[in-house]
Chains A and B, each alone.
Chain A
Amino acid sequence: MAEFEPNILTFNCNWCSYAGADLAGVSRLQYPTNNRIVRVMCSSRIEPTFILEALKEGADGILVTGCHIGDCHYIEGNVHTDERMKEMMDALEHLGLGGRLRLEWVSAAEGKKFQETITEFVENIRALGPSPLRKGVDD
């Protein structure tokens, strides 16, 4: 059996984190290719159902990134994200999927932080092993 490669879904907000990921790209910073980025207008667009649906479809980990608190393009969208994701992490803990969701604030200037976050998260998930919901998902 081939070595386990985690499938990571990353949600990036349009105004900070996506630009941050862009910066990581143009700065030629190397990071694992296990993640797929979904751009959303604001991190508060991410509903609890998005996370659950992704896990149900076989994602091993989900990384949610947004602007730093106080920097949100929509003033306080990320405050709601913060609240919501904490509830989500609690819920996933009870389902036996603890540690598979991570929230991180990445600004447009933090390409380096984006690289480090992804590298670290991929390693964390690799250590956790495949999600129990992952059934024969092909890469």
Chain B
Amino acid sequence: MSNIQLCYQCGKCTAICPVRRVVKTSPRSTIYNNTVYRTGSDDIWNCLTCGLCYDGCPQGVDYPEFVKEERDSKEDGDLAHKGVFTLLTDMMTDLEESRTSLDEAGNTDSKIGYYPGCLDFHDMFFNLDVDFRSIADSSMKLLNSIDLDPKLIKMKCCGHDQLWQGDKGTFEKLKDQNTKLIAQSGIEKLVTSCAECYRTLSQDYDLPVEVVHISQLLKDADLGIDSKTTVTYHDSCRLGRHMGEYEAPREALASAGSEVVEMKHNRNDSWCCGVSSMMNCNDRSKALRKARLDEAKDTGAQVLITTCPKCLAHLNCMKDEQESIEQYDYDIKDLTVFLAEQMGGK
């Protein structure tokens, strides 16, 4: 249950809301209308659930949780790509055979599992120069190089997007099916390379196994790289504010010899990439993405690193779109892909 009853209407959430900078929306008045007049508001569909308001709230009101509950079983708002991913995962729940399509099996006797998430579907429907599948390949390579020897866990989608789009029924189905698959696989530790999967599997699932994000394993690892690259790190909302993991990716980068420079807004102040759970990819959130790209440009870094495939996709998409009018002299890469590239053929 969300704790919006604690709200004393100071309006700090509205002041720091990133969406507020581009469109008239107000978390404060949404809460007010809900608690006092019991009326709904369209603002719940504008929310990016990035958690910046929660982080700044003096009362600790969990607005994203409230939005999640409010969205439940209501008609979807503005879904990106006409809801193709939503439909795909919805169909997955009814199809026994459907799994992630990656082939590498890894070490099948391992007690450590690696779950790639829905990377293969990203490759199919985004016409971008980003090879999402290489995130899975790189993750396996990195995990093998630190002698963890994981096996690839073939599950359905984690259901993160369905949960946040208000389709709790589908989420529950996916949760049941995935929990069974994990129990069958006999692993003790589940590694993900996706910030959203990490949040969902550790907070919204009730798993008997330990869930870790790959950056948490790589931070102390000696990969034997000295990359000497200047990089900047974009905190994704799911790994950062939702899960409180700010330092692990930075330490992983630093231990690989990269110099990490910070953007103006970093760690818990980090700005959102503008799209979470495949919703609200429109002119408004594009303005947010542009602002984020400009911040990264100001740091003078050669590579912008992120840990979430959604941030990766949407920032890259915006970069492509802006290329004709503005020059961005850096690459946007996933943490694992960057580190694996630096390792080279080793």
Contact = CB atoms under 8 A, between A and B. Distances in A.
Nearest to A133: B94
Given A48-B125, A49-B83, A91 B97 contact: no
Say whether chain A's binding surface is mostly helix, strand, loop, or mixed.
helix
Interface stretch (B84-92, B278-286, B319-327): B84-92
A56 B91 contact: yes
B90 A96 contact: no
B98 interface: yes
B124 A87 contact: yes
Given A49-B82, A53-B87, A90 B124 contact: yes
Interface string A95-129: 11100000000000000000000000000000000
Contacts of B95: 95-97, 132-133
B308 to A, nearest CB: 22
Nearest to A90: B124
A91 B124 contact: yes
A96 B96 contact: yes
A47 interface: yes
Interface string A38-81: 00000000011100110110000000000000000000000000
Given A48-B125, A87-B125, A95 B98 contact: yes
Nearest to A47: B82
B121 interface: yes
A94 interface: yes
Interface residues of A, number: 17
A101 to B, nearest CB: 13
Contact of A52 (B91, B97, B98): B91
A95 B125 contact: no
B115 to A, nearest CB: 16
A49 B278 CA distance: 15
A87 B126 CA distance: 10
Contacts of A53: 87
Contacts of A90: 124
Contacts of A91: 88, 121, 124-125
A56 B98 CA distance: 14
Contacts of B120: 94
A132 B125 CA distance: 24
B92 A52 contact: no
A41 to B, nearest CB: 18
Contacts of B96: 96, 132
Given A47-B82, A90-B124, A95 B92 contact: yes
B124 A52 contact: no
A52 B94 contact: no
Interface string B112-131: 00000000110011000000
Contacts of B97: 95-96, 132
Given A95-B92, A96-B95, A97-B95, A49 B101 contact: no
A47 B84 CA distance: 9
Q: Which 10 A-B pairs have the closest CB atoms?
A: A96-B97, A52-B87, A94-B101, A95-B98, A87-B124, A48-B84, A49-B82, A96-B95, A91-B124, A96-B98
8 contacts: A48-B84, A49-B84, A56-B90, A87-B125, A94-B99, A95-B97, A95-B98, A96-B95
Given A52-B91, A56-B90, A96-B98, 18 more contacts: A48-B82, A48-B125, A49-B82, A49-B87, A52-B87, A52-B88, A91-B121, A91-B124, A91-B125, A94-B98, A94-B120, A95-B88, A95-B91, A95-B92, A96-B95, A96-B97, A132-B95, A132-B97
